Amino acid sequence: MPPPTFTALIVAAGRGLRAGGGTPKQYRDLAGRPVLARSVAAFADAMDVVIVIHPDDRALAEAVAPGVRLVEGGATRAASVAAGLAAIETSHVLIHDAARPSVPYDVIRRVLDALETADGAAPALAVTDALWAGDGIVDEIRDRTGLWRAQTPQGFRTEAIRAAHAAHPGEAADDVAVALAAGLAVRIVPGDEAAMKITTSGDFARAERLFREGCMDVRVGNGFDVHGFGAGDHVMLCGVRVPHGRGLRGHSDADVGLHTVTDAIYGALAEGDIGRHFPPSDPQWKGMDSAVFLAHAAALAMERGFSIGNVDVTLICEEPKVGPHAAAMRARVAEIAGMEIGRVSVKATTTERLGFAGRGEGIACMATATLVAR
């Protein structure tokens, strides 16, 4: 008998508007990534993925999950699952709610292992709280023995669950309910509190905390810039006016240090470079204080939920001497970027008189910036 093969069928065809935000919840941002992208990522390394989408959401889904096969769903969840099952060619399928983006791989693994000997398997958590019945007033206490809170993914032999859906009249609570109606045995495996379902705006806040606390999002960006010498009596380096017999040529104030740090932050955010945000073709930036550029990059990082962990700047030149001004440069960079000075390094090196910098034709700079999710 050939070994089993698996596909994750992610159901993302619902409108999901109870969570607020005006956009279906599966496409909303969750700690820096769309909910659907996180759900896909939970399975993508282990098996193929098929997403069932609403017909109006194709462009959104293609942007969130490029290269993943998309199937248009129906008017109900059951109809959407049936449409997805029709596209599955593997021996087994794991049906998963797109609104459970934080399912741990251990849960997925337990479902896969159970399917080696069972027609179906699904994760669940035992009910541990007391159960009350009543409408505003407690009428009775219900026995919680043997009760479970259902989760996904719910796994099945593909042909069996496909036939079960074809025979099932109307809606069901979930795919386990469809399987039970068809006489399939479904094994319960341990779930995980982390595999929560996002339904309301409060659930978004909980899921956000879960990802922020459980996964440290660290970004690193690099910057490099060069400016040649021209007429002038000073150069601007890392926000500090340094007396010199020549100035630096550039559309703004030509501060090669601040330009490089700014590009490093933009790079960590995948936001291009200074030219994208402040085009040199635009005359309003002529002679502009480069602190404006760095402040913009730092504010953008803050807006995206990141703090700047550290900045490391290396100025490459024969002249002027950087050492006497390094402390002031560190302080200025820290001030502009809203950082502690202890997180800013400014140093200099030469090229041993090789190349344009060695010939004293200009100054180069390279910088690295680290961003850490707050």
Answer yes or no: do 193 and 250 share one domain.
no
Measured distance CA(266)–CA(282) in Å, rounded: 20
Q: Is residue 1 part of a domain?
A: no
Measured distance CA(13)–CA(81) in Å, rounded: 9
Measured distance CA(45)–CA(49) in Å, rounded: 10
Radius of gyration over alpha carbons of the chain, in Å? 29
Answer yes or no: do 225 and 210 share one domain.
no
Q: Which pLDDT belongs to residue 177?
A: 95
User: In the chain, what are the helix, strand and coil shares in percent, each to the nearest 5?
Assistant: 35, 30, 35
Q: Which pLDDT belongs to residue 277?
A: 93
Answer yes or no: do 91 and 192 share one domain.
yes
Domain boundary residue, one of 214, 233, 256: 214
Measured distance CA(73)–CA(79) in Å, rounded: 7
Domain boundary residue, one of 188, 214, 240: 214
Q: Which pLDDT belongs to residue 175?
A: 96
Q: Could you tell me the CATH number of the domain that includes residue 19?
A: 3.90.550.10
Place of tokens 């202890």: 342
Q: How many other C-beta atoms lie within 10 A of the C-beta of residue 238?
A: 30
Q: Which pLDDT belongs to residue 11?
A: 96
Q: Which pLDDT belongs to residue 6?
A: 96
Answer yes or no: do 157 and 229 share one domain.
no
* HSE toward the beta carbon, residue 112, CA cutoff 13 A: 14
Domain boundary residue, one of 165, 183, 214: 214
Closest to 54 (Cα-Cα) out of 12, 99, 117, 98: 12
Answer yes or no: do 235 and 118 share one domain.
no
Q: Could you tell me the CATH number of the domain that includes residue 292?
A: 3.30.1330.50
Please tell me the total count of domains within the chain. 2
Q: Is residue 98 part of a domain?
A: yes
Question: Are 229 and 360 in contact, with CB atoms under 8 Å apart?
Answer: yes
Answer yes or no: do 84 and 20 share one domain.
yes
Give 10-residue mean pLDDT values along the chain (374 residues).
88 73 84 90 90 94 93 92 95 96 93 94 95 92 94 96 92 93 96 90 80 72 96 95 94 94 96 92 90 95 88 96 95 94 95 92 96 80
Answer yes or no: do 202 and 259 share one domain.
no
Structure tokens at 270: 């995948």
Domain around 205: 6-214
Answer yes or no: do 271 and 248 share one domain.
yes
